[in-house]
Structure 1
Amino acid sequence: MTSTAPDRAEAPAHSPEQRRVLTVLVAAQILSGAGLAAGVTVGALLARDMLGSTGLAGLPSALGTAGSALAAVAVGRLSQARGRRPGLAAGYLAGAVGSAGVVAAAVAGSPVLLFLALFVHGAGTATNLLARYAGADLAAPAHRARAVSTVLVATTLGGVAGPGLAAPAGHLAHALGLPRLTGLFLLAGAAYATAALVLAVWLRPDPLLLARDLEAGRAAAHAPPDGRARPAPGSRRPGVPAGTLVMALTQLVMVAIMTMTPVHLHGHGHGATASGLVIALHLGAMYLPSPLTGRLVDRHGPRAVAVASGLVLLAAGTVAATAPDGSVPLLAVALALLGLGWNLGLVTGTAILTGAVPPATRARVQGQADVAVAIAGATGGMASGLVVAAAGYPLLALGGGVLALAVVPAALTAERDR
């Protein structure tokens, strides 16, 4: 008799469980996307105003991404032990607490509290990225990249709307007697808290726990007659370092250039509205192309998409480096290309990594991989301010574009070992 569990494990792309999981994840990602906007759009400006130094303006991004590294470990381990639902909900709740802490720090004028709060706020960013793995838990291998991309694209609405609300949110904060730059952090706190509630209540069945059950059923159905267990497929695949490296490199380049662009614009007389527009286009390009990217990876494999990622990031750095000082239209183009290149690299790396590990160890390995991604982002964010202070924004942008070409050999390694 043929077991039904393997059948469901082989073709879950259109299962009711997978559809429900994706629906809930999409709702949570729309909300959390608005939370991402705060640290990206005004974090560096808030730190610069409090510290009076452009050289340290990249510190908020570095702290946020360092916090996201710790959160990636914590959320990954909690998800490994208890499932995606408690892990992701806890991560978003931590992001909400960090947002509230930033507001409190601005009111108190305390840089120390600001840095601590930005560190905790990074948990929201980490969780937003980790959610993409939950979309792939129940997906068939041929649809895995598309499932990841469905979760990523849901971030677009909140991510694009968030920066555009910088001025209205600033007015709200001012009306409440708070510094204007804290407005987006008020929005982020509410968005992250609501996303945590949505996941805690409605992410049932838990995709990771169900994937484990399906994998166990498939293993039992194909167990050898002597009853001896075979090694878990994919438990020692070289795709783990290759996928991690692709994601880490794209994250480093993206964060470095993105972090200093609002500061660069502000230094040439543009206010929060211009920065918000540029960052909104950037965030839209980070997530909106995801469905197309997922189809490209599923159809053509990671090699071609990784090459495209490196070339697009190089183009982004070149446009940013050669744009006339403070040119909003050209910098908007550069940041849109930057977001697109990041998307191509992230979906490629995620698909490589997810295909390399079985459900039994998936959440832990994914959390560890996102630690490397977060550390790379922290490095890019911290170095960006120092590079701009020492050599200028154009050198930062062009150098980042050249560095991005390293994603190509990383993906070629994974493709060769498949």
Structure 2
Amino acid sequence: MDGARPAAGAVRHAPPPEAARVQRRTMTVLTVMQAIGTVGVGIAPSIGVLLAGEVTGSDAWAGLARTASILGAALLGLPLGNLAARYGRRAALTAGWWTAAVGSALLVAAAQADLVVPLFLGLLSIGAGTAVSLQARFAATDLAAPQHAGRSLAQVVWAGTIGSVLGPSLGAPGRFVGDLVGLNVYAGAFLIATVCLAVAGLIVFAWLRPDPLRLRERYAAPTPAPPGKASGRIRPMLAELGGNPVARFAVIAILTAHGVMLGVMTATPVHLAHHGGSITMIGITISLHVLGMFAFSPVVGHLADRLGPRRTIAAGTWILVASLVIGAIRPADTAWIVVSLFLLGLGWSFVTVAASAEFGSAVSGEARASAQGGVDALSNLCGAVAALAAGPALSVTGFSGLSVLAIAALVPLLILTARKRARGSG
């Protein structure tokens, strides 16, 4: 199994009672934070897109709105990772949630007064919530025992199911709140999101003590820095990847799965609408996709701990391939597209949970938070590029062609995984 190799920067001298106590407290705070904060984040790809259409009167601008929030997560992921490296998880997570809350407040104004500039500034800023919800999964592993890293990370990912399901459904509560305070439905929905994001930041600020990353660094085994490592925004991550093949493989897996998933998922509602799919059916399809992404993450984390990250990544990659094969051969069958999107989310979960656990255990203590922030930034950047490219690809090749292109994007990861297995690395 993969766990035979000692983790770089692994906790070794922490008194077991203290480490276990702090980890339990950390997991409670992160789980509650994630469940509340992702409600605010989950509004962007659904109600945010609708709001962009209302404010701009353009379908093209509405499509760019989703990319704006993903791009915001990409731009803010690395600075928030560097903030964690310098001041700890508490500072970074608090800053991220409160930045997202400010962005959501801008969207309240944009919705109420039809303002274009606050619309896109708000969507970019709300991407900070996505960035810190991703950083939270790494925070869950800071003090986790090596044999439990996968399930600790998966618990935080699973908590995001709540926000991913409730966030897109804030329309009805938004109408109720809007009627109470004199706002329209979109402004009311983003007012709820603002409160959720602000509360998530408050929970971290008040209760994430002691800081798990600071405590990990206190008791971690010292790790020599790779040649050429220097401080800065991007250089620690690049130096880490250049000298750490385990971390490099994990990053390739994360980026590939995220890009493939977002590209296909972004194109699916358009494809279904062109084939006469109702709004209800499109909503069900995306909801089941989200279910596949998050609901089974505890099981995936357990498998990653038990079977090893490499085997779990391999399984997830083949699930992604199966999803895309269905999309390629049955593009006009709505029932099969629903199955395809569910498997797309499930495959993403397998790869992302296992590869994130692998990366978290392989990266050195000195570069840990900065490198993790860099990976999240690259992941969201890949997602933004894939989401932008999905529309033109769908227009030119159709859903079958898009699925084939996505399979082609998975081929390098399949080859790398096969080589790792052939070398006996799990």
TM-score class, shorter-chain normalisation, is 0.7 to 0.9
Matches within 5 A, 1:18-417: 18-51=23-56, 53-55=58-60, 57-170=62-175, 172-173=177-178, 178=183, 180-181=185-186, 184-215=189-220, 231=224, 236-267=243-274, 273-322=280-329, 325=332, 327=334, 329-411=335-417
Kindly state the Cα deviation for residue 52 of structure 1 after the two structures are TM-superposed: 5.0
TM-score by length of 2: 0.83
8 Å CA contact 2:331, 2:400 repeated in 1: no
Q: How many residues align?
A: 400
Letter in 2 for 1:388: L
1:134-191 Cα deviation digits (max 9, x unpaired): 0000012222112111111111122223334444435654776655455543333222
Cross-structure match for 2:6: none
Q: Given the superposition, is the C-alpha separation of residues 205 and 316 from structure 1 closer, same or farther in structure 2, using an over 3 Å criterion?
A: same
1:116-139 Cα deviation digits (max 9, x unpaired): 221111111111111000000001
8 Å CA contact 1:62, 1:382 repeated in 2: yes
8 Å CA contact 2:153, 2:353 repeated in 1: yes
Aligned-pair Cα RMSD in Å: 3.0
Moved more, 74-83 or 269-278: 269-278
**Partner Cα separation in structure 1 for residue 190 and residue 71 of structure 2:** 18
Letter in 2 for 1:231: P
**Partner Cα separation in structure 2 for residue 100 and residue 16 of structure 1:** 37
Moved more, 273-282 or 81-90: 273-282
Moved more, 395-404 or 87-96: 395-404
**Partner Cα separation in structure 2 for residue 178 and residue 322 of structure 1:** 47
Moved more, 169-178 or 369-378: 169-178
Moved more, 165-174 or 101-110: 165-174
8 Å CA contact 1:93, 1:192 repeated in 2: yes
Q: Percent of pairs identical after alignment? A: 37
TM-score by length of 1: 0.85
Cross-structure match for 2:231: none
Kindly state the Cα deviation for residue 270 of structure 1 after the two structures are TM-superposed: 5.5
Kindly state the Cα deviation for residue 109 of structure 1 after the two structures are TM-superposed: 2.7
Q: Given the superposition, is the C-alpha separation of residues 414 and 238 from structure 1 closer, same or farther in structure 2, using an over 3 Å criterion?
A: farther
8 Å CA contact 2:175, 2:189 repeated in 1: yes
Residue segments in structure 1 that go unaligned for 5+ positions in a row? 220-229
1:182-239 Cα deviation digits (max 9, x unpaired): 5543333222111111111111111000001111xx55xxxxxxxxxx7269964222
1:16 aligns with 2:21: yes
